[in-house]
Chain A
Amino acid sequence: DAGVIQSPRHEVTEMGQEVTLRCKPISGHDYLFWYRQTMMRGLELLIYFNNNVPIDDSGMPEDRFSAKMPNASFSTLKIQPSEPRDSAVYFCASNPGLAGIREQFFGPGTRLTVL
């Protein structure tokens, strides 16, 4: 299996622009998680999906952030409009959802820089 795939790997944009981050989870995994990592706040959960349905979005910082999962193999995280404080590494992770498997498998991340 190719693992969790994220694109783009790096994104540089200007304040006010729309940013879309993409994720393809591991095939067969029922759970998908979006995290944000910064030096100051560490790794924070933004939102997670189960069977394509958003379950908990309490970590989404504000209305500028939105996430969708239109099917089992694709999810997006959108920031509109972007701000410099959104600069961070965004990780997507997936989990098979089986009781005996608790590990989350992380993608390589997208490094976002908002100028």
Chain B
Amino acid sequence: QKEVEQNSGPLSVPEGAIASLNCTYSDRGSQSFFWYRQYSGKSPELIMSIYSNGDKEDGRFTAQLNKASQYVSLLIRDSQPSDSATYLCAVRGGNKLTFGTGTQLKVEL
């Protein structure tokens, strides 16, 4: 079993819709969780971090964490074509980040 699992996609949503990206992790002791966005040919960039159970909102992005279910999600409201990218879930253990393989999101006009 991989430590951090994501559906590779692609996930296709129409412009203006809500995109929902999911991630599960295996280490029950994990405390810090991150979502990175990676455009094709570019490096990952941090878009959200979450440390406590519940929701965290930042603009059009909402991260959700459920430690009991070992589940992290990212919601993107009012999806735009510029949101088309691969989204990487990362879980911190000590000073290390373990990444999922990413979910490719396509926002269609």
Contacts and interface: CB of A to CB of B under 8 A. Distances in A.
Interface string A14-38: 0000000000000000010100000
B102 A42 contact: yes
Interface string B35-65: 0000000111110010000000000000000
Nearest to A44: B99
Contacts, number: 42
Q: Is the interface of A mostly helix, strand, loop or mixed?
A: strand
Interface of A: 31, 33, 41-45, 48, 50, 55-56, 91, 95, 97, 102-104, 106-109
Q: Interface size class for chain B?
A: 10 to 19
Interface of B: 32, 34, 42-46, 49, 88, 92, 95-102
- Name the residue among B43, B45, B97, B102 with the largest chain A CB count within 10 angstroms: B43
